[in-house]
Amino acid sequence: MATNTNTNIATSEYARRRRELFDITKALRDFGADALLGRPRIAVIGGQSTGKSSLVEAVTGITVPRDSGTCTRCPMECSIRGGTSSWACQISLLRTNSNNTSTSAFGARISNKEDVELNIRRAQAAILNPHLNSDSFLDKSYDELKSLAENNPRMLRFSRDTVVVDIEDPDGTDLFFVDLPGLIQNAAQDADIDIVRTLVEDYIAEPQTIILITIPAIDDIENQQAVRLARIADPEGTRTIGVITKPDSLTAGAIGLRTKWENIIKGVDRAHTLRLGFYCVRLPDDAERTHSRDEMECIATEFLRTTPPWSSLHNTSRLGVRALVSDISELLMSIIEQSLPDILAKLEGLISECEKDLEDLPEPITVDPATEILNRIISFCRDLQAIVSGQSEDKGFVHRNRAVYEKFNIAIRKTAPNFQPFEDLDKYVLGEDPTLAQDLNTEERPDTVMPPMDLYDVRRVIKESTGWELPRNIPYGAKVTLIRRSIELWSDPTSDCCDEIMTILRGEVDKQISEHFGRFRHLESHIGPIVRNYAVQVSVICKELVGEVLGREDTPYFTQNLHYLDSVYGKWLRRYKSARHNPQYYLITPPGRVEPPVSRSPSGLSYCPSPEEDILSILARLGYPGLKNEDLARLRPDAFEAELCVMADVRAYFQVAYKRVIDNIPLTIQRSLCQKLADTLQAHLVDKLKLGSPDASRRFDDLLAEDPRVQLKREELRTQLKQLREIQEKLQNF
């Protein structure tokens, strides 16, 4: 008595675990876990007319669509849950789109087996016509479905979406399997051969999939395309099951085939060894389908028991549908149970990924719309101020602006007067002053865009500017003329600088608009034009102010930085005089040219000592210290003394004005454009939004309408996360 009780308890526990595994597997399927988690399953494959449909009918106890040629044009996944109180069937559509899988019921639960076949046809038609509403197929007749297939050019030939048939059967055995379209052999259907083969290959390539091949007994196993595909996917034969169908097609004279199949099913034929082995099933013909399930099973059992070579097998556990179903059910449940730890680990990773994706989405708005909009405006303006002032972590805006200002610096620097203190420009050239090159924070050494002017060119300008001045008075107009030639070139670089900074600012503003308001399409569309129009207004004022700053560099030419002006004047005068009296050092193309001696100044910069410096050094040793170059000049008058002084004076003033303008223009742009916009934008936006107007509440509700795509994504992720956690809980409790 105790033994029977223990047996019943063990049987009950085993059944409970099978039910739990069944529920878990179904949940994984409905979630679309095949690609994500690698759900174990059985894939039934075979060629046309190999008995595949008859096998499916025998296993499920239902009638499936049968037509000549290829009838199954999309996968059909069948689940059988045994031990239920009554028979029922639910057909569903499992669709995959952009990595999202959804399962939806197709019609109501079916309680009459006679209704299943037509409803499967309807479901398959709905799958093959994704452009039509699935519900429109629920009441179509067989003739209407046939007409639709023949006269609808938009109907798909095949689909990867799946018709799901969930069966509850009091006499059934728990089982999941996928019936795939039959492999096509008919050359007239060449267009479909590759489609079906690829679909089968993709399914059986998964290492968790058990491959079940239907092979007619009358055919040579080597000629079966399904067998070849299975060997490619499972070369070791560790997850393939062979099912020999139509054993009643073997005549008494087919001795060779009888012997071969006997050796194969016994495992003697080493060329066709499978670890999971072969089974042989006799399936009912058309006349026998009217019998009950038990009657058909008895007919098949009697045939296999009395007909060679099957009757000669001592081990009958490989014969009949019932034996096949029992074994593959137990095998599938065992594989599913073994796979659970790996599935659970993958599931935890998916949950973490789903949670992160959900966290990355913005939270739904829970505050008053006006408050939300105002908070976003404040945040937007605060971030823009931090970016403009260089206080944000991302210094990209500042770096881009500094690059533009450096470019402006170089452009202005290139307008320096190009004075050459020689009488013949064809022979001599005075290069760039190395001390001035240090003014630029760049490796580039800009060449002047000004045409060279020698001593005669400067003399000509002086002569043209001379009025009623007394002799030895250099007309101031000559210097004005020469200074203007450089300064009048500053307009274009200044304008370009303004435009480039405005482009950078506009890009940063657009970026911040997107980040702060992009979640709400209507709000972004409303705020964007207000901000951009205001930026244009500010830029117009900025250009006016920049124009005023640049206009100050026009006459009168003036500076109070006299110390620097005198210092630079003396430097350039010495440089010009040195070159003037030592032209041999500045020959353009002299073979064997003599380089001027190089010394180091206190600052470490290289320069060429002039003969005057040598003379001053000698005089100092002779007891005449403190003399300067200007003192020597009186000892040796120069016919071009006036021209050299004008060159030095103009070049010195350019240096003073250049250093002034390369700071004043960027500072004006920064303060009157970038900072002005950032500092005054918040007040402008608040004013334009009219927060206190009577219709403000309605307008703000409309502006805060969330992007439907974000809403949909959030709902999908929440649903997905809920499903994942439910599956995780089931797995953890198993």
Per-residue H/E/C for 653-710: HHHHHHHHHHHHHHHHHHHHHHHHHHHHHHHHHHHHHCCCCCCHHHHHHHHCCCCHHH
**pLDDT category, 545, cuts 50, 70, 90?**
very high
Residue 22: is its pLDDT beyond 90? Answer: no
Residue 525 lies in a domain: yes
Residue 248 lies in a domain: no
Q: Check the CA dihedral 353-519-673-496 and report its sign.
A: positive
pLDDT at 465: 94
pLDDT digits (tens, 9 = 90+) for 392-446: 999 999 999 999 999 999 999 999 999 999 998 888 888 765 544 444 444 444 5
Residue 428 lies in a domain: yes
Residue 546: is its pLDDT beyond 50? Answer: yes
Q: Check the CA dihedral 301-305-311-316 and report its sign.
A: positive
Task: Please give the residue that has the higher pLDDT: either 187 or 17.
Answer: 17
pLDDT digits (tens, 9 = 90+) for 160-169: 899 999 999 9
Residue 506 lies in a domain: yes
Range scoring the smallest mean pLDDT among 11-15, 23-27, 267-271, 581-585: 11-15
Burial of 563 (0-12, 13-18, 19+ CB in 10 A): exposed
Cα 300 from Cα 294, distance rounded (Å): 10
- Region at 10 (left for phi over 0; alpha for psi -120 to 50; beta for the rest): alpha
pLDDT at 305: 86
Residue 638 lies in a domain: yes
Q: Give mean pLDDT, residues 609-629.
A: 72
Task: Please give the residue that has the higher pLDDT: either 631 or 716.
Answer: 716
Residue type, 236: E
pLDDT at 630: 59
Cα 626 from Cα 479, distance rounded (Å): 31
Range scoring the smallest mean pLDDT among 30-44, 496-510, 555-569: 30-44
Domain encompassing residue 436:
369-703
Residue 535 lies in a domain: yes
pLDDT digits (tens, 9 = 90+) for 137-187: 999 999 999 898 888 888 988 898 999 999 999 988 888 899 999 888 765
pLDDT at 442: 42
In three-state secondary structure terms, 591 is coil
pLDDT at 605: 46
**pLDDT category, 572, cuts 50, 70, 90?**
very high
**pLDDT category, 256, cuts 50, 70, 90?**
confident
Cα 260 from Cα 405, distance rounded (Å): 89
pLDDT digits (tens, 9 = 90+) for 224-240: 899 999 999 999 999 99
Question: Global pTM?
Answer: 0.57
Number of domains in the chain: 1
Range scoring the smallest mean pLDDT among 31-45, 273-287, 483-497, 655-669: 31-45
pLDDT at 342: 85
Residue 45: is its pLDDT beyond 80? Answer: yes
Residue 519 lies in a domain: yes
pLDDT digits (tens, 9 = 90+) for 694-729: 777 778 878 877 777 788 888 888 888 888 888 788
What percent of the chain shows pLDDT beyond 70? 88
**pLDDT category, 71, cuts 50, 70, 90?**
low
Q: Residue 693 maps to which CATH number?
A: 1.20.120.1240
Residue 466: is its pLDDT beyond 60? Answer: yes
Task: Please give the residue that has the higher pLDDT: either 7 or 238.
Answer: 238
φ, ψ for residue 105, nearest 5 deg? -65, 140
Residue 669 lies in a domain: yes
